[in-house]
Amino acid sequence: MILKLVKQPQFVIGFLFILSLLFLSFYWPSLFNVNKAESLKLMEFMYDENGAITGSIPFSPSEVPPFGTDVTGRQLFYQILDGAKYTLIITFGVAFFRIFLSVVITLINPKANYSFLNDLVSATLTIPTTILAYIFMTSLMMKNTIEPMGLTKLIIIQGLILVGIGIPPLISTFSGEIKSILNLDYIKNTFALGAKKPYVYYRHVLPELSTRLILLFAQQMIQVLILLAHLGVLSIFIGGAQTLMLGDIFNLTPKDIPLAGEWSGIIGMSFTKLQTAPWAILIPLSCFAVTIFALNLIIQGVQHGVEETRKL
Amino acid sequence: MDNLLLKAQNLSKYFTDSSGIQKAVDGVSLNIYKGETLGVVGESGSGKTTLGRTIMRLYKPEHGQIWFEEKEITRLNEGKLRPYRKDIQMIFQNPYESLSPRMTVGEILEEPLYIQKIGTKKERTDKALSMLEKVGLPRTSYNKRIHEFSGGQRQRIGIARALMLDPKFIIADEPVSALDVSVQAQVLNLLKDLQTELDLTCLFISHDLGVVHYMSDRVAVMYLGHLIELAPKDELYRNPIHPYTKSLLSSIPIADPERRNAYREPIILPEKPLYPPQLIHVGNEHYVSANMINIKEFEINKDEKLMRI
Amino acid sequence: MNQHILEIEKLKVSFKKKSEQHIAVNEVSLQVERGQTVALIGESGSGKSITSLSVLNLLPVNGFVESGSIRFDGKELLTYSDKEMRKIRGNEISMIFQDAIASLNPGMKVGIQITEGLRYHNLIPKPDLKSEALQLLEQVGFNNPAHVYHQYPEQLSGGMKQRILIAMAMSCKPKLIIADEPTTSLDVTIQRQVLDLIDQYKTDLSASVLLITHDFGVVAEYADWVYVMLGGHIVESADVYTIFKNPMHPYTKALIGSIPNPSSGQERLKSIQDYPLESVSNDGRRFAPDTYTKESSFFDTPSSLIEVEPLHYVRFYDEERKVTAIG
């Protein structure tokens, strides 16, 4: 299976893109030979050699190549590189736990009917997941402002919310799928030999599910990415935010700065400045788009690989 | 009788679906003696496959008992059933679905031994190789995967897998109905040879009366979940009593144009009786369901009138 | 009037799979005489269904007729346009498919459905359609046609659906009925009823039947003439009595020998391995079970049908063997 995937160009391209993004995200300071703290520092004004102010935040991509800065004056390029690892790891983790938990829940009682769940899922399909997530997240944020909890705890709870809202539809997918697998003759055949359930699940059901799992995993990552982008627009930051006072003394404006530097935070932070600094939104959004594209390539590669195996 | 291997009494298995309870198997009693092949014949919906799977204890019966070698196995849980799983094996209908497409032939054959924790790795491999030879496949098949084989060869592998644990009893559920006619004959011959060689007892389930006749010593006819007639095969094919059995037998196309006959026995498909019919002994080890015959027509010895198993 | 209702001559049908071309039917010639039932028998992959589909120009999209001719009632069907073919289909040649469930429209009352052909071809005035439908239903053995008329396909059993299909096929009183495995998915008691029905119609309307099957039992009961197909070729053809009495091709012998026959009490079934291909082939590989269904280079070797006795044709694969086989 893995050998066949390596032969699929789409899979290889998508996979390499994600891998190199991760790699860059961890090692960019040494690769570009810059100081991390220095390049992510806040910058309000730009000075020329004589110390005169030549520009103020936010700087456009032509002023500070290649991507310009956000509203707080941090370089977008480095910020995006640095944020890639958080974004990808959060997405990966949320997608993984969604799949893992729903498979485990389904396998605990594979014969369960979940008919109420199916009805619920089909009824709630009309509610965008973003809204669901937003409702849960805002109340969490509210609680956080009243009695602040630690960063790790906050991230874990936020992660749980992101995982939780994705599980019900997955369970209804898996329960149908696993039921039909358990009805396959060769699985029955193995039970007839006196095999125990864990053995059959591990040896037969999971391999049968495996390609499906890879596909669903990539799909879930895409869904989580989209969800993160939407949440960013709604100013929900994973890891919470710190309020900074920006502007001059006469015009103080409170500004939420995301603590973890993932991409949705960049979007949310700059969203109010959509008119003056469109690049600060468009660039992270395009990064989401490109990553989703890479994941779609992976999905296509897997599907091609599966088709070719079937033909044999 | 002392050479009784398996006995099922008043066995019932119901399924529930949207339209209510379906009595797939209803009140079936059977004896299977050591070394014989009991054929079960019936059309779609007769419950023959369900009967096989219930005897195998893949399903839990609603009523009735199953004894295997004088021990009751009806209510045993999976753990207690494990030793019996070794003695009762099943050959499935569709060789394209009953073998895992992800494993090599070697793994498929060794899996039963692995599950039952028998032998070392080396012993399992040796056994698998010798079993391959026994079912007429080259030893080189060991490392191949299932998709490299044709339907007939796959069914040979299915048979080999069922024989790996040296079972005493084999349930063959339509083992050739998915195969082309010319391949069918090979698989049937192989099964018959192995049965003699290994002294196997067999429950042979099929919809094809010709195949059942070829394979079996005694034949049981199932109709709508009930057992309606049971007799040694020659007796049954020569002297069917139940109208449904008669219709069934007269419907087989005879592969001989010289014996083409314009006259057709009318086909009678009786209604399903409310209760499972009682089987009555009418002589020659021939049992037939009581509700469809006029008992007075048969000279029945009073003592053995009712088949009490 | 032509003696044959259907004449297929040197028909060659290919399938395109990606860039490969795979010949499914190779130089098949067959004739259906008026008023007769002709059986085309073969196993999966032999090309028997493809042959029948090409008669009605209903080949799957990637299949096409390369060469040959199909003459129906003296008319060359291969040159017909789609419009002309539609007039033939259902009206003069009708087809009964294996899968009765898939061949009926689930959302349409069966009474309406069986007269669809009549309506389409404008054969009888509209007001008479219902009475015609009821009559057809009665002919195919329904005791209460008025009740069945208003039912939907899902309310009927498999055998009943197959009878509806037959009623549909008969509605336009076609001259030729092509029955493609009409009873394969049916129980044996229903199989007999369905085949008797087709046979009855054939006699009543002096139509002809092309019966496609894999079952030599069915052939023995219903066919007049038999063509045996293997790997896209016709390997043997003769009338039904000759073919059972004196099969020549090892494949035919194997097929006949492998039928378990309760009334003959045979001790052992003959299977293909038991035929050492005595007189016909050069080596044994042809009938090794894994090679004969697949396309193999073997089928490309030149061969021809030889008349071994009057009106009994067998395919031989090279000149030398032919002599020994006849001698």
Report the alpha-carbon distance of residue B8 to residue B230 in Å, rounded: 14
For residues B232-242, give the mean pLDDT. Answer: 89
C60 vs B119, C51, C64, C79, CA distance in Å?
53, 12, 8, 18
The whole-number pLDDT of residue C323 equals 40
Report the alpha-carbon distance of residue A159 to residue C71 in Å, rounded: 72
Chain B positions touching A191 (Cβ under 8 A) are 58
Which residues, in sequence order, are CB contacts of C327 under 8 Å at separation 6+? none
Considering only CB atoms, B86 lies closest to which of A184, A186, A194, namely A194
Residue with tokens 């197909």: C229
DSSP B56-79: TTSS--SEEEEEETTEE-TT--HH
Report the alpha-carbon distance of residue C311 to residue C237 in Å, rounded: 8
CB contact under 8 A, B98 and A186: yes
Q: Where are the alpha helices (DSSP H) in A41-196?
A: 76-108, 115-124, 129-146, 151-164, 167-182, 185-191
Q: Where are the domains of chain A?
A: 2-39+63-311
pLDDT in tens, C182-238: 887 778 888 888 888 888 888 888 899 999 998 888 899 899 999 998 878 888 899
Q: Is the pTM of this model over 0.80?
A: no
**Could you tell me if B214 and B129 are in contact, meaning their C-beta atoms sit under 8 angstroms apart?**
no
pLDDT classification of B2: cutoffs 50, 70, 90: low
pLDDT in tens, C19-75: 777 778 888 899 999 989 999 998 777 788 889 889 888 888 888 888 899 999 888
Q: What domains are there in chain C, each with its CATH number?
A: 4-228 (3.40.50.300)
C88-127 in b/e form (b: 16+ CB < 10 A) is bbbbbbbbbbbebeebbeeeeebbebbbbbbeebebeeee
Report the alpha-carbon distance of residue C110 to residue A256 in Å, rounded: 69
| Tokens read off for C56 | 């009605």
Closest CA to C116 of C84, C141, C86, C138: C86
Partnered with residue C315 across adjacent β-strands are C305
Site from B82, B115, B174 to mutate, A interface, most A CB atoms within 10 angstroms: B115
ipTM of this complex: 0.78
Site from C271, C290, C296 to mutate, B interface, most B CB atoms within 10 angstroms: C271
Report the alpha-carbon distance of residue C52 to residue B284 in Å, rounded: 50
The whole-number pLDDT of residue C208 equals 92
Q: Which regions of A181-279 does DSSP assign to beta strands (E)? A: 241-246, 253-258
The whole-number pLDDT of residue C21 equals 77
Report the alpha-carbon distance of residue C64 to residue C13 in Å, rounded: 6
pLDDT in tens, B107-117: 999 999 988 88
Considering only CB atoms, C216 lies closest to which of B249, B255, B264, namely B255
pLDDT classification of A41: cutoffs 50, 70, 90: low
| C299 pLDDT above the threshold of 50 | no
| Tokens read off for C254 | 């194997």
| B205 pLDDT above the threshold of 90 | yes
Chain A positions touching B86 (Cβ under 8 A) are 194
| Tokens read off for A24 | 């860059």
CB contact under 8 A, A188 and B147: no
- The C-alpha angle with vertex B80 and arms to B203 and A202, in degrees rounded to 5, equals 90
Rg (CA), chain B: 20
**Could you tell me if B123 and B162 are in contact, meaning their C-beta atoms sit under 8 angstroms apart?**
no
Which residues, in sequence order, are CB contacts of C56 under 8 Å at separation 6+? C85, C88, C89, C93, C95, C178
Closest CA to B61 of B51, B48, B70, B46: B51
Q: Looking at this protein, which amino acid is placed at residue C195?
A: L
Closest CA to A281 of A266, A298, A296: A266
| Tokens read off for B91 | 């050959």
Chain B positions touching C254 (Cβ under 8 A) are 182, 185
**What's the DSSP call for residue A204?**
I
**Could you tell me if C254 and C271 are in contact, meaning their C-beta atoms sit under 8 angstroms apart?**
yes
**Domain A2-39+63-311: which topology?**
MetI-like fold (1.10.3720)
| Cα of A76 vs its chain's centroid, Å | 19
